[in-house]
Structure 1
């Protein structure tokens, strides 16, 4: 018989005295009340952070005695957990936001391509910086950017991510459709992109093709091969909407995932975004080729035709991470949406009341996301030798009491406003929602200054009217 006993917590008002300045040292000894380890939450543990990594993890007293010269910061009521990893983002779409609300699928044709194509270097930088800040505020320490369609290159996007302090897997789009004769030049640019960022502390190079139909078969093969050879992730969108599946069937007689397999573009280096409309055969292809999937639940709700069967994929051993697709950058709400979508789309009709369980979504939002982004050996877990990308979360709130199952509670009950601190590479980047070393308010003022102009000059085609006009139209 199960014994239901609340988790033992001894909260102390002294945690309210924690300050950002105390966490700015190059070397830190932290003793949170809870430490989220790969096997689950643990108490009585401490971590030593040095040179940007988790240098030591062990019992509190053991680390205290081993480092008498270091101040041990006791963090009652706090959880130290891995930072979230956004496995699929579009950093240069942040000026669009609500313009996509209520729109039918494939908004990339009518909103994102026109918007990104209209950005100049300043607006490209500010858009990416705003999105990076939003990501950190939502607990994401890493974002996997699928590439921008802006014509100015990726330097501004990389600079924005580095200035904010978020880790970024930066995709370079290598589409050659409509660019006949440019394959060699595109592949040379891909090589340069990898070389430029190969050793950067925060920016990790990636290659991308927007959708399989945006490239020739030879380009798909070469970009996937180059990615595998250079140890970087190859990103593409597949099987997201009925229209894209049907276009592929008409053009090639194959569904998008089948098409990628036919040209040898699936494999452990490949990260496919969405994969919502997949057949059992295509799931087998994902498993057999060790291709990774970004499950983007909020995107399915807001603009999709279907929900990826992430529970089945995980049960089959397919590698899955969670992505926002640039919808909203809130790690806790992303996990909640991931579980809710599985319950509604699959769990209810199967009688599956757990729909993967809380721990699955917590894992996919952290270690799973790191794995599919090609960074599984560097981030995603609290483990010795890994980069110290982590959150300090305030658990001393009414919503988290009484505590019976912390993993479930983090998925269903936790909120972004509980995040006290965000660390990337061992450095404190955000304190209670705001940067510690740059002026976010000034960024917001700059965005207000230019965003309206940038959007106004883009040839965006909205189908759904803005809220006020829509309400008026339906009330006539």
Structure 2
């Protein structure tokens, strides 16, 4: 008598599976079993067919299945400013173009529509979780909920007024209101997001540190992005930004620093000692001529370094696959070492290292039983991806986001056959054109 098969919500059969944990492992002809939005099992396809029945079975004969990619630093609503002020250095870009445009146009509606547009772009590129930082966090949360995408939404704090808030206390008040409203949502988390050391006072940092400890929240900040930023800190405070943050008690495992381009060996050692996470943004750093972060040295020191896109206004793409390739090439060029940041290490940066830096490695960043079923599948059946000698290397050096065919968030199919399932592309394009017309007038 045949034993009854155990029932699943979803069974994905793939030509290759890269679970990321254990490291440097590529499984062939394996299946991932999903129940209740979480991974139940990973096993050979032949065994899965004997053990499980499923409400939905997806056969990916020419695909590699990966954990969902994590965009560790972005400003998703700025998708509406894509290409608005190209080819300028950071401070001119901010002061002459971006901040004036934001003063005129940023609103709750701007953030909602920009988050929809940018979130859809990320899902189509295999990104299942974004660590976001911008204004009007409630509007961003509503957009991510509509998309069915996971997000950590920054409660921005800055010491000057914007369309969103009047001062640091007002930013915190409004951010904490949004945090409270979304506290129980399965897709939405929050972080405290002081903009940067040059735009936040010591008093505001002290309040942020207290709230992070009280509410068990991450702190997400830009720091050491440019040499000018460091010179300004030395002139105004007598110390480099990281030293100032350390003196305020902010260096710790709940701190995530975006960029960290200009850091000394001693600062790398301090970041490692304090378990600080880093979001590396290679394309934005190159486009704004900020520099090349010493990523290989940071990883060698034991720091969890993930990958971010920054906003579409300073990158033009919210494309983690592109960041993977550029991070690998930039590391090799800047160190003059062709073995720096090999393919599997880059895959870890886009997944499990980013999850560690977010404090979410227990649920995200790898394909393991018990973790959330956030996954993407990349097709390797085209001319430009043939022949295939090393699957991990192919993902980093040969593939682009156009090869992403399937994306799941919590076991829910959100991209199928390269098409966004639950949101209307025509409507998103209409909204984009409306904002383009507004920004040009």
Q: Normalization by structure 2: what TM-score?
A: 0.90
Q: Does residue 1:386 correspond to 2:368, yes or no?
A: no
Asked if 1 retains the 8 angstrom alpha-carbon contact of 2:155 and 2:171, the reply is no
Deviation by residue 1:190-211 (Cα, 9 ceiling, x = unmatched)? 5434322322111111111111
2:201 corresponds to which of 216, 235, 246: 216
Q: Does residue 1:335 correspond to 2:319, yes or no?
A: no
CA shift, 1:119, in A, is 2.1
CA 1:26 to 1:171, structure 2 compared with 1: closer, same or farther past 3 Å?
Answer: farther
CA distance in 2, matches of 1:209, 1:399: 43
Per the alignment, residue 304 of structure 1 pairs with 289
Residue 185 of structure 2 aligns to a residue whose secondary structure is: coil
CA distance in 1, matches of 2:87, 2:305: 27
Q: Does residue 1:345 correspond to 2:341, yes or no?
A: no
Alignment root-mean-square deviation, CA: 2.2
Deviation by residue 1:305-340 (Cα, 9 ceiling, x = unmatched)? 211111100000011100000221222211000011
Per the alignment, residue 132 of structure 1 pairs with 119
Residue 134 of structure 2 aligns to a residue whose secondary structure is: coil
Asked if 2 retains the 8 angstrom alpha-carbon contact of 1:257 and 1:282, the reply is yes
Asked if 2 retains the 8 angstrom alpha-carbon contact of 1:283 and 1:313, the reply is yes
Residue 200 of structure 1 aligns to a residue whose secondary structure is: coil
Residue 306 of structure 1 aligns to a residue whose secondary structure is: coil
1:143 corresponds to which of 116, 123, 130: 130
Asked if 2 retains the 8 angstrom alpha-carbon contact of 1:224 and 1:269, the reply is no
CA distance in 1, matches of 2:96, 2:432: 22
Deviation by residue 1:77-131 (Cα, 9 ceiling, x = unmatched)? 1111111101000012112211232112222233332333322333322111111
CA 1:184 to 1:114, structure 2 compared with 1: closer, same or farther past 3 Å?
Answer: closer
Per the alignment, residue 4 of structure 2 pairs with none
Per the alignment, residue 18 of structure 2 pairs with 36
Q: Does residue 1:401 correspond to 2:386, yes or no?
A: yes
Per the alignment, residue 78 of structure 1 pairs with 63
CA shift, 1:181, in A, is 11
Asked if 1 retains the 8 angstrom alpha-carbon contact of 2:226 and 2:290, the reply is yes
Tell which deviates more after alignment, 443-452 or 166-175: 443-452
Per the alignment, residue 155 of structure 2 pairs with 172
CA distance in 2, matches of 1:105, 1:397: 38
| 1:420-459 equivalences in 2 (<5 Å) | 420-453=405-438, 455-456=439-440
Q: Does residue 1:251 correspond to 2:254, yes or no?
A: no
Asked if 1 retains the 8 angstrom alpha-carbon contact of 2:261 and 2:292, the reply is yes
Q: Does residue 1:267 correspond to 2:249, yes or no?
A: no
CA shift, 1:27, in A, is 1.1
CA distance in 2, matches of 1:275, 1:211: 12
CA distance in 1, matches of 2:239, 2:121: 38
| 1:221-240 equivalences in 2 (<5 Å) | 221-240=206-225
Tell which deviates more after alignment, 403-412 or 284-293: 403-412
Tell which deviates more after alignment, 218-227 or 318-327: 218-227
Asked if 2 retains the 8 angstrom alpha-carbon contact of 1:224 and 1:270, the reply is no
Per the alignment, residue 119 of structure 1 pairs with 106
Per the alignment, residue 4 of structure 1 pairs with none
* Number of positions where the alignment pairs a residue of Structure 1 with one of Structure 2: 424
Asked if 2 retains the 8 angstrom alpha-carbon contact of 1:239 and 1:276, the reply is yes
The answer for unaligned runs of 5 or more in structure 2 is 1-6
Tell which deviates more after alignment, 316-325 or 373-382: 373-382
CA distance in 2, matches of 1:112, 1:46: 46
Residue 94 of structure 1 aligns to a residue whose secondary structure is: helix
CA distance in 2, matches of 1:409, 1:69: 31
Per the alignment, residue 3 of structure 2 pairs with none
CA shift, 1:223, in A, is 1.0
Residue 192 of structure 2 aligns to a residue whose secondary structure is: strand
Asked if 2 retains the 8 angstrom alpha-carbon contact of 1:388 and 1:425, the reply is yes
Q: Normalization by structure 1: what TM-score?
A: 0.84
Larger Rg: 1
Residue 420 of structure 1 aligns to a residue whose secondary structure is: strand
Asked if 1 retains the 8 angstrom alpha-carbon contact of 2:11 and 2:54, the reply is no
CA 1:92 to 1:71, structure 2 compared with 1: closer, same or farther past 3 Å?
Answer: closer
CA shift, 1:72, in A, is 4.3
The answer for unaligned runs of 5 or more in structure 1 is 1-24, 458-476
Per the alignment, residue 474 of structure 1 pairs with none
CA distance in 1, matches of 2:414, 2:100: 33
CA distance in 2, matches of 1:384, 1:125: 34
